[in-house]
């Protein structure tokens, strides 16, 4: 990856329902021209994933763990927070490496530096950094942070909520992270240098399937298979749909059910038309997950930015199938499948 360029990923595949259209499903090999026009289809928005390092929080009352309630707006998970006295919501977005702040509320903060960056759909433009004095949510406090600044107003407009920014794994990398989409909870546990919970807190997470975390970044990549082929997916809690690369082979594409066209919008670009449908043959471990919403998109820019080939993205459609645990210290990802989802 070239120095001085901020990594961008498939964030916020926000599907905004437009005019209701009666659609019949069909497989990918059917003629694309028979699809409903994009003008009557949802819009999938992509936002940049910023690279902002990582920070350790202070646990109030010297606790060893915290349970953070999450609200939902569409398929986004929100955490109520206060950022330098401003009250609102942070989007829990693991496609964002660190901290991203909404320029709508922090435009008067002192800015430093600027980087010209490119996203999955093209040039994004200049991104500035600011200093944040304090962030508070649940029983956690972060102090003296550096954050990238972006205009997140279009998310607020479409979801009708006040968005202060995005937080990713860089804000909790040295903790054990348990994501429970079913109960809308985020659980964080303090851990030692080996990745074990301090003071034997709880019985520990018992997954149905676990996978070793590769690499040493704040972005999580997972291996999954479709039609027996192992694929590399980026795990992104800020993506309201999954995504699959348009350069995957015909056997993989034949497992998808396409229902319509949609528009993929990236920051600073006019957007591009993509296909939207269902992922039917995804397997992780020995567990098959069907009917996951997905878009088909070119991911060359994303792969180049991360320095690794990316075959797809796993977002809300994947997360809703169970409880997930991420531990970057012992490099383990685990999932405990929702009752009735085991195959």
Torsion, CA 81, CA 206, CA 341, CA 319, rounded to 10: 30
What pTM was estimated for this model as a whole? 0.84
Q: Which long-range contacts (CB under 8 A, 24 or more apart) does 110-114 make?
A: 111/149
Task: Quickly state the pLDDT bin for 271 (edges 50, 70, 90).
Answer: low
**Residue 27: predicted pLDDT:** 38
From CA 266, how far away is CA 97, in angstroms rounded?
18
Q: Which residues contact 146 (CB under 8 A, 6 or more apart)?
A: 52, 53, 99, 129, 130, 131, 132
Task: Quickly state the pLDDT bin for 42 (edges 50, 70, 90).
Answer: very low
- Of the candidates 293, 280, 288, which has an alpha carbon nearest to the alpha carbon of residue 208? 288
Whether residue 298 contacts residue 245, with contact meaning beta carbons closer than 8 Å, is answered with yes
Span 48-83, pLDDT tens digits: 444 446 788 999 867 899 999 999 999 999 999 999
CATH 2.40.70.10 fits 28-41+213-337, yes or no: yes
Report the range out of 83-92, 110-119, 254-263, 307-316 with the highest average pLDDT. 83-92
Domain chopping of the chain, boundaries: 28-41+213-337
């Amino acid at each position: 990856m070239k120095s001085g360029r901020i990594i961008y990923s498939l964030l916020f595949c926000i599907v905004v329902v437009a005019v209701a259209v009666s659609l019949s499903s069909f497989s990918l090999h059917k003629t694309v021209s028979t699809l409903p026009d994009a003008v009557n289809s949802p819009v999938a928005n992509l936002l940049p994933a910023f690279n902002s390092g990582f920070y350790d929080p202070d646990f109030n009352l010297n606790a060893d763990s915290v349970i953070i309630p999450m609200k939902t707006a569409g398929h986004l998970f929100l955490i109520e927070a206060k950022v330098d006295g401003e009250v609102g919501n942070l989007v829990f977005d693991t496609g964002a490496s660190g901290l991203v702040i909404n320029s709508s509320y922090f435009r008067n903060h002192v800015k430093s530096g600027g980087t010209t960056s490119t996203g999955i759909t093209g040039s994004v433009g200049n991104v500035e950094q600011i200093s944040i004095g304090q962030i508070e949510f649940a029983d956690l406090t972060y102090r003296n942070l550096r954050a990238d600044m972006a205009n997140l107003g279009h998310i607020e407009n479409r979801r009708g909520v006040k968005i202060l920014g995005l937080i990713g794994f860089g804000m909790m990398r040295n903790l054990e992270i348990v994501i429970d989409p079913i109960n809308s909870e985020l659980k964080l546990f303090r851990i030692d240098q080996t990745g074990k919970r301090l003071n034997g807190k709880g019985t520990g997470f018992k997954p149905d399937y676990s996978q070793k975390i590769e690499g040493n970044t704040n972005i999580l990549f997972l291996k999954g298979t479709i039609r027996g082929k192992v694929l590399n997916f980026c795990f992104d809690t800020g993506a309201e749909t999954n995504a699959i690369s348009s350069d995957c082979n015909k056997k993989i594409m034949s497992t998808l059910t396409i229902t319509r066209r949609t528009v993929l919008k990236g920051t600073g670009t006019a957007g591009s038309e993509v296909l939207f449908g269902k992922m039917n043959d995804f397997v992780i471990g020995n567990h098959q997950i069907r009917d996951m919403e997905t878009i088909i998109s070119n991911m060359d820019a994303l792969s180049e930015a991360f320095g690794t080939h990316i075959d797809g993205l796993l977002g809300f459609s994947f997360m809703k199938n169970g409880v997930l645990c991420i531990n970057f210290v012992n490099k383990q990802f685990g999932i405990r499948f929702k009752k009735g989802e085991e195959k």
